[in-house]
């Protein structure tokens, strides 16, 4: 691999072993993939930072780096941790508070912005064509597809290495010729009345090439759920959104057209609450966007308290403080609000019979990780199941 004189010096350890080790990781991965050079990045997003996911080995890895007191060379954000940073949630268990604090101290000490969210684009929307090194599959696919930025799906250690060095390997979605839409997917109107994450689960499972999606006037929060579901049930990191993905950040070479019917996605609706079952309603995977907060406020205004189960909403701490009046209304309706975390990367205090969510990604992981029955429903259906 060709390295610039500056990169050579970093690799030789002139700036310390941490930077040398970090660059070595990137170069090794790049060489294994056939990459010929590195590319500068402007934003790293580090996933795999929840103690309940990475445990002691991950904590030790981070603390070893932190002990040398390095600083991230580029703007760096971090994914949710395994604790509720608002300390109000009765659903999320804060049993790993001390361990998570050690992880956070290391990351923030190296220069990460303590956003604790999987929607880092809320804090810094990337520009079309900008090179990034992001972890977190739902954020990666959103950056590539919605903003036209260029990032591969990085694991936590690689994104961390890019944060330290400011580089990633030039390969995959950093190259325009790998951003070619091959399958045109038309989403039929009946699916438009349901959460779009249903379509995302189907596309993830059934389409291998880069899809181009025809989506009519869908709000950002639906697109976020659709893309995250695709990335969870498949390995997608880019979907061209017709009329949304910035021109010049992709090419088209359509080989096949698929019309997605409601009958294709119906099976993902999953479970519905049975009589007497305890229900955990869940909104906020990926983390709740202000658009969803406005809808929740309108839906919840007329109710006083839940009739069965609980509604859990997860969001970044900064959105909670910016929209504090909506958060107060939700709290007055006994909504359980957890900040900077989510049930997939944390531990739940209590077992519920069923989770009802608008998120295809939560549908995918909550069944696998927590062995929970899960159903997909719209925001309105979720609120009505809990409050009526």
Please report, as ranges, the residues that interact with ligand F3S according to CB under 6 A.
79-80, 118, 138, 228, 285-287, 314, 342, 344-345, 361, 365
Q: How far is the CB of 108 from ligand F3S (least distance, A)?
A: 18
Q: What are phi and psi of 307, to 5 degrees?
A: -95, -30
Burial of 331 (0-12, 13-18, 19+ CB in 10 A): middle
CB-nearer residue toward ligand F3S: 70 or 156: 156
Of 7 and 79, the one with the shorter C-beta distance to ligand F3S is 79
Nearer to ligand F3S, 92 or 354 (CB): 92
Dig out the tokens for 122 from the structure. Answer: 């809320």
Minimum CB–partner distance for residue 192 and ligand F3S (Å): 23
Shortest spacing between CB 145 and ligand F3S, in angstroms: 15
CB of 125 to ligand F3S, least distance (A): 17
Contacts of 28 (CB under 8 A, 6+ apart): none
> Taking Cα atoms as reference points, which of 348, 358, 268, 345 lies closest to residue 78?
345
> Residue 30 or 286: which CB sits closer to ligand F3S?
286
Kindly state the DSSP code that residue 203 receives in the 8-state scheme: H
Task: Find the shortest distance in angstroms from Cβ 228 to ligand F3S.
Answer: 5
Task: Report, in Å, the least distance between residue 182 CB and ligand F3S.
Answer: 26
- Helix, strand or coil for residue 286? coil
The Cα-based distances of 210 to 136, 179, 235, 289, 318 in angstroms read 19, 7, 10, 26, 33
Nearer to ligand F3S, 118 or 210 (CB): 118
Rounded least distance, CB 224 to ligand F3S, Å: 9
CB-nearer residue toward ligand F3S: 152 or 314:
314
Of 278, 296, 275, residue with least CA distance to 91 = 278
CB of 137 to ligand F3S, least distance (A): 8
Return d(Cα 299, Cα 292) in angstroms, integer: 10
> Could you tell me the smallest distance in angstroms from the CB atom of residue 267 to ligand F3S?
21
At 89 the three-state DSSP class reads coil
C-alpha count within 13 angstroms, C-beta hemisphere, residue 350: 14
* Of 49, 55, 233, residue with least CA distance to 137: 233
- Number of helices (H), then strands (E), belonging to the chain: the values are 15, 16
Closest CB to ligand F3S among residues 80, 204: 80
CA–CA separation, 367 vs 315, rounded Å?
A: 21
231 vs 330, which CB is nearer to ligand F3S?
A: 231
The residue (of 268 and 365) whose beta carbon lies closer to ligand F3S is: 365
**Is the separation of the CB atoms in 47 and 135 below 8 Å?**
yes
Structure tokens at 146: 């919605």
Name the residue nearer to ligand F3S (CB basis): 245 or 341.
Answer: 341
Q: Which two tokens stand for residue 186?
A: 């038309």
CB of 388 to ligand F3S, least distance (A): 26
The three-class DSSP label of residue 220 is helix
Cβ-based neighbours of 32, under 8 Å, separated by 6 or more: none
């Amino acid at each position: 691999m060709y390295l610039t004189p500056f990169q050579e010096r970093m690799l030789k350890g002139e700036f310390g072993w941490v930077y040398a080790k970090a660059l070595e990781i990137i170069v090794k991965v790049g060489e294994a993939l056939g990459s010929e050079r590195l590319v500068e990045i402007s934003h790293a997003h580090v996933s795999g930072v929840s103690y309940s996911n990475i445990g002691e080995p991950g904590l030790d890895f981070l603390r070893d780096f932190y002990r040398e007191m390095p600083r991230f060379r580029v703007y760096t954000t971090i994914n949710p941790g395994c604790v509720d940073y608002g300390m109000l949630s009765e659903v999320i268990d804060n049993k790993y508070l001390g361990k998570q604090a050690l992880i956070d101290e290391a990351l923030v000490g190296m220069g990460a912005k303590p956003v604790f969210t999987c929607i880092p684009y809320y804090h810094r929307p990337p520009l079309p064509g900008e090179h990034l090194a992001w972890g977190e599959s739902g954020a990666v696919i959103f950056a590539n597809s919605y903003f036209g930025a260029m990032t591969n799906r990085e694991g936590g250690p690689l994104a961390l290495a890019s944060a330290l060095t400011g580089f990633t390997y030039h390969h995959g979605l950093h190259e325009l010729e790998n951003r070619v839409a091959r399958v045109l997917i038309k989403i039929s109107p009946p699916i438009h009345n349901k959460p779009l994450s249903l379509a995302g689960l189907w596309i993830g499972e059934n389409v291998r090439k880069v899809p181009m999606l025809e989506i009519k006037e869908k709000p950002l929060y639906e697109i976020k759920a659709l893309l995250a579901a695709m990335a969870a049930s498949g390995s997608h990191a880019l979907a061209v959104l017709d009329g949304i993905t910035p021109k010049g950040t992709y090419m088209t070479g359509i080989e096949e057209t698929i019309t997605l019917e409601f009958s294709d996605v119906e099976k993902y609706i999953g479970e519905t609450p049975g009589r007497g079952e305890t229900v955990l309603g869940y909104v906020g995977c990926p983390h709740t966007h202000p658009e969803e907060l406005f809808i929740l406020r309108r839906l919840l205004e007329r109710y006083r308290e839940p009739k069965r189960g609980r509604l859990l909403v997860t969001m970044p701490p900064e959105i909670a403080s910016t929209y504090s009046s909506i958060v107060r209304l939700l709290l007055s309706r006994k909504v359980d609000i957890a900040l900077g975390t989510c049930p997939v990367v944390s531990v739940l205090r209590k077992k519920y019979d069923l989770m009802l969510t608008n998120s295809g990604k939560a549908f995918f992981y909550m069944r696998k990780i927590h062995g929970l029955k899960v159903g997909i429903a719209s925001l309105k259906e979720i609120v009505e199941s809990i409050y009526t």
